[in-house]
Structure 1
Amino acid sequence: MEFMHPDAIEADRDAVTGLPSLESARRRLAEWLARGARVHALLIGFRRFDTVNLAYGEAAGDAALGEVAARLRHFAADELDSAWIATRGRGGQFLLLSSEECSRERWQLACAQLLDALAGAIPTAAGTLRLSPRGALLRAVPDEDADSILDRLGHTMESAMASPGRRMAWADGEAISAGRSAAQLEADLLRALDAGEIEVVYQPQFSCLDDRLSGAEALARWNHPKLGRIGAGALFAIAERADHVPQLSRHIARLAMDGAKAWPMDLRLSLNITPNDLAADNFAEEFSMLSVQCGFPAWRLTLEVTEQVLLGDVGHASRALGALSARGIRIALDDFGAGFCNFRYLKLLPLHYLKLDRSMIEGVIGDARDLAVLRGIVAMATALDLKVIAEGVESEGQRALAASEGCAFYQGFLRAQPMSGADFLSLARG
């Protein structure tokens, strides 16, 4: 999560990206170190970023920085289970700090995955941009202070920038170890399904009005025997390289439904759908059969799809989701407000929920424009008979405002972090 005190003020955020200020990150880092947390850090820079403003204009440069911040937030929220904070440093640099307990190899894998995400095409009004990210990695040593960490990262970034063929560098000149090759990771994944290494955790969802538990979103984690816990983003990237996404998706769905069968009957289960899932000709039939085999009622299921999932054949996606909706399964458009929203999806797809991206909630307290955008989205959703789910709610003020503006449900670290099936069952019965 982006770990900020609930009473954090908007003045303590970067005007371009909306990220917390560098001073906020420094304070949080000092707090973690004071209590003995294991700190991991990544400083991100972009080669020749200054040419973006020269070639495309300052507005395009700011748009690129905003997109980088959004991808960074999404990655951290999906991949990191412990507290984290992201901030913008000088110029085009970004800093990610985490109190995650993980191995050196796991942090390196996560950072490589993030740099891949940041290297993807960025559409702007002035044209499509492609950035060349570089990363300085660090694991804090015992008794190290915040200034030392930031200083070491800065020196390491200079080294990474000076080496055209070097994308990542460890602080103090540590060599990037070979670790596990892509082929090894792909082979590991094929074994992991049978070895019980894939785990499902549940992110609780609550009613905005009365704070009643309404269900949970299922999230995948890979407990790798050597690299430690790997989040869903890296997990599915490995699965895609191994051409194993359908098998992994079915495995995760089965685990999630098996775990949710013991829940009280009024609680819903949300599952994420990948582009590979929806592109399959027989996805609707296979998924319906899977829910029957698991003995989980279709009417308690919600499938979450993102715009990325829909970038292919929208007509095919609409027909597949329509077939599932006819069987009682509900459909949610996830991450609404992130990137470039295509309102055409709201007309073509059989939707029941609109799930707001966390960036739609972050600035609603104290920012009149953000509040106006939220009100417009909720009004549109209401006109379309869609219920709105607010994601990334981290303060009581955000929850109360979302409720007063008409959001039906919320999820976020205000009430609960992702938790094991046993812990969620205890919460549901409590």
Structure 2
Amino acid sequence: MRVVSCIVTLHNLWLVALAAVVCIGGAWVGFGLFRRARERREVQKAGWIFLAAVAAGAAVWCTHFIAMLAYESGAPVTYDPILTMVSLLVAIAGMGLAFWTALEPGRASVVLGGGILGVSVSAMHYTGMMAYHVDGLISWDAPYVVASVLIAAGAGVAAMLASLADRKLLAHACFVLAVVGLHFTGMTAVSVTPFATGAEIADPQVIAAMAVAVAGVAIIVIGTGVASYMIDSDVSEKNLDALRQMALNDPLTGLPNRTSFSNYLGHELERARAGGTKVAVIGIDLDKFKEINDLRGHEAGDQALQIIAGRLAALLRDGEFVARIGGDEFAAVKRFDEQRELHDFVARLERELFAVMRIDDFDVVPGASIGISVYPQDGGTAARLIGNADLAMYRAKADVARAVCFYEADMDELARARRDLGLDLRRAIDRGELQLHYQVQTTVSSREVVGYEVLLRWKHHRLGYVSPAEFIPLAEETGTILTIGEWVLREACKEAASWPQPDKIAVNLSPVQLAHCDLPRLVHQILVETGLPASRLELEITESSIIQDKVRSLHALRQIRALGVTIAIDDFGTGYSSLDTLRSFPFDRIKLDRSFMSEVEQSAQARAIIRAVLALGKSLDISVLAEGVETEGQLKLLQSEGCDEAQGYHLGRPEPRRSSPQADAAAAA
């Protein structure tokens, strides 16, 4: 009651209200800046603590000074300017130390920081009271002084605990209680007995004007903190927008990315379930992108993706969505009620994907394989619809006559069978199901045996022999080709080392082997293990395996050739950079693709190509072997054209080794 009586009877209530407004504003801004400091680290953290300390400390000091001006002592009053300024610095420094301590890990630090806050408010108040000079006798009531300090410290601890718990209103209220409780309890402890000096008491209007001026300074300081907070919030919001853009959009094309696609599809499926509409999921895989990358470089590939993305984005209408989900793969979503709406959207996609585009100085038609699944008949979840659209897309890619393929139920069976076959292929070596067959290679002029090509066969425990055209791509797709390729190379070298005749063997290499393993080290290790001379081993590679990573591939081939192993380029004439490949690496043998031999007796163009390749081989001093020789007429034609070597069913079919390869050749003859 003495405190209440002190406020009501000894203070100008209008100025008390002004002090309360300043205190509440300081609490709001100071603790708001303190929360921002909690979100920052190192230098930024220190900067925000400084701003919070200035705002809160200035608010505390201004509250105290306005409340002092509101105190009616009944005697003339003056203020010591130095101590008054010191009290302001004490408030700011104390707030800074309190905030910094409270941000240290552990609850004890928070409590300590709150205690420092209360003590600093007390120190500021009583320093200010030392600056308070009155023409009268001042006496103090010690219990009230102690009570004021305890109130400030307790409320300060509560304010810090509430702030760290994100209870903003409670934190602000406790801070105001610490300041106001300290001040008015402390003022209750003061008793002033005026001296009869006859000096004039300050004009109340002047005091009010000073209080308003002090409040104005407080508002400026607080406003500075608010402005800093707003600027940082704006920058943070812009940064958040930028991060959101990066997280949800593809940086190269600007289209939505896989995450955006998943979010949008989930939203559309919920809408379709509620409204009974249909949703189509469309998978898009570009057909010519790899060719553009290989021929023109990655910069041209990026340009192609940007052009395609721009076209797809421009054709979109309400209920349509397109995203780039990785590499040269795009995905689209179409909400529709009638089938013709879906067909119209797919037609627009086809038109843009198959339109000619110009990149630098050449024109290209990108083309695409498009697979479509529809909710609800093809799946009820996003994952099922995406998977079924992928199955349809792969069907379209495998069928050169179709660019668009809708999902069909039997695709699941085919996919399941392919997965099962892939699992069986992983266990084929352990089950002893893989076999090596050898096809003889002879000179064209004398038909003398010069070597054997090693061919892999798989005798499945349930399906019997599986075509290499089926299981080799599956092995490359699943990565099993690395294990199988190493087994083939080691087994072939081991068997060849046991032959009585030192014939050469030619082993095919997959592009995956050349790109994903330390091939020179593996070849050297196997030659040492098996004891096969390096001169008896030839490795066959295709042009496509080199083009994927030309620098790395040619470096590996040079290391292998340094071991004494010969290198042959397989399927020559079917690629698009054969001459450049021959210029880049000195191959030991050119293997002319079998497709030319199948037409050589009827096609003048095929004969002209064979003649040109033979001339090229002679000029480069590289022997040429023709594959796919199946008739005597083909062999005689090769002989007349001066071909070095030949291989094909007419000379010998691939067979497993009996007692020796010579016995195999005799049996075939």
Q: Give TM-score scaled by structure 1 length.
A: 0.58
Q: Secondary structure at the match of 2:545?
A: coil
CA contact (8 A) 2:546 2:554 kept: no
Where does 1:18-417 land on structure 2 (aligned, <5 Å)? Answer: 127-129=365-367, 164-166=406-408, 181-280=417-516, 282-417=518-653
Q: State the match for 2:663 in structure 1.
A: 426
Residue 362 (structure 1) shift: 2.3
**Cα RMSD (Å) of the superposition?**
3.0
* Alpha-carbon distance in structure 2 between the residues aligned to 1:305 and 1:361: 20
* Alpha-carbon distance in structure 2 between the residues aligned to 1:355 and 1:396: 19
Cα 1:163/1:376, change in 2 over 3 Å: closer
Letter in 2 for 1:382: K
* Alpha-carbon distance in structure 2 between the residues aligned to 1:387 and 1:188: 40
Higher relative contact order (CA 8 A, sep 6+): 1
Letter in 1 for 2:617: A
* Alpha-carbon distance in structure 1 between the residues aligned to 2:405 and 2:549: 41
Q: Secondary structure at the match of 1:195?
A: coil
Deviations 1:263-292 (A, max 9, x none): 343421000011121113521111111122
Letter in 2 for 1:186: G
* Alpha-carbon distance in structure 1 between the residues aligned to 2:579 and 2:464: 40
Letter in 2 for 1:360: F
Q: Secondary structure at the match of 1:402?
A: helix
Higher Cα Rg: structure 1 or 2? Answer: 2
Cα 1:162/1:242, change in 2 over 3 Å: closer
Residue 341 (structure 1) shift: 4.0
* Alpha-carbon distance in structure 2 between the residues aligned to 1:167 and 1:302: 46
Q: State the match for 1:120 in structure 2.
A: none
Q: Unmatched 5+ residue regions in structure 2? A: 1-361, 372-398
CA contact (8 A) 1:338 1:357 kept: yes
Q: Give TM-score scaled by structure 2 length.
A: 0.38
* Identical-pair percentage: 31
CA contact (8 A) 2:453 2:505 kept: yes
Residue 178 (structure 1) shift: 6.2
CA contact (8 A) 1:224 1:230 kept: yes
Q: Secondary structure at the match of 1:221?
A: strand
Q: Unmatched 5+ residue regions in structure 1? A: 1-123, 134-156, 170-175
Cα 1:274/1:179, change in 2 over 3 Å: closer
Q: Secondary structure at the match of 2:551?
A: helix
**Count, aligned residues:** 276
Deviations 1:225-277 (A, max 9, x none): 11221233322333234322211100111222222223343421000011121
CA contact (8 A) 2:540 2:570 kept: yes
Q: State the match for 1:104 in structure 2.
A: none
Residue 422 (structure 1) shift: 1.3
Give the stretch that moved more between structures: 273-282 or 179-188.
Answer: 179-188
* Alpha-carbon distance in structure 2 between the residues aligned to 1:177 and 1:276: 28
Q: Secondary structure at the match of 2:429?
A: helix
Deviations 1:379-409 (A, max 9, x none): 1111111100000011111111112212111
Letter in 2 for 1:427: D
CA contact (8 A) 1:203 1:217 kept: yes
Larger helix share, 1 or 2: 2
Residue 129 (structure 1) shift: 4.5
* Alpha-carbon distance in structure 1 between the residues aligned to 2:472 and 2:538: 20
CA contact (8 A) 1:262 1:425 kept: no
Letter in 1 for 2:471: L
